[in-house]
Amino acid sequence: MAHKFVRAVFPGSFDPITNGHLDVINRGIKLFDELIIAVGRSPVKNQLFTPRERVEMIAELVTDIPGVSVESFDGLTVEYAAKKKADVILRGLRSLTDVQYEFQLAMTNRAVAGIETIFVMTSEQYGFTSSTLIREVATLGGDLSNLIPESVRNRIRQRLKKVALDS
């Protein structure tokens, strides 16, 4: 039987990208031929990094992973996935709270756009990590060494220094 080429989209804000996200990316690419990390341009305030900066940060981290690319997008994830001719949407799950929200989203995406969602459980050590939590800990000067890559920590440090100087 011939192998079917499978393209997946892994959407998120990635503000900033965490070790948990990288864990999902590294396990996800083993399941698919191509994985597009899709950085959403959300109108949400209090963003640490611009979509362009997030794409740059992620691109640096995944440059050595064959089949993985990064881009930003506007609008609905399902529309973006359709435009990219993606077969599935990849999502990481951390907790039961995630399951409830993601289940609704996956059902809606399938009903509206006919696209399947594949879930990957995050590794235990990243189960509590979220970009929101990372931003809070960083702002308060906490140790993020186990939660995010060093290159991202350095960028956060620089950004917070700039914010402090500007205020």
Q: How confident is the model at residue 1 (pLDDT cuts 50, 70, 90)?
A: confident
Which of 30, 45, 85, 167 does the annotation list as catalytic? 45
Task: Please give the pLDDT value at position 45.
Answer: 63
Distance CA 90, CA 148 (A): 20
16 phi and psi angles, rounded to 5 deg: -100, 175
Is residue 131 part of the annotated active site? The answer reads yes
Report all structural domains of the chain as residue ranges with CATH numbers, in order of start. 7-166 (3.40.50.620)
Is residue 161 part of the annotated active site? The answer reads no
Q: How confident is the model at residue 148 (pLDDT cuts 50, 70, 90)?
A: very high
**pTM, rounded to two decimals:** 0.90
What is the tens place of the pLDDT at every residue in 44-74?
667 889 999 999 999 999 999 999 999 999 9
What is the tens place of the pLDDT at every residue in 92-135?
988 777 788 888 889 988 988 889 999 998 887 877 788 888 98
Is residue 85 part of the annotated active site? The answer reads no
Q: How far is CA 92 from the centre of its chain?
A: 9
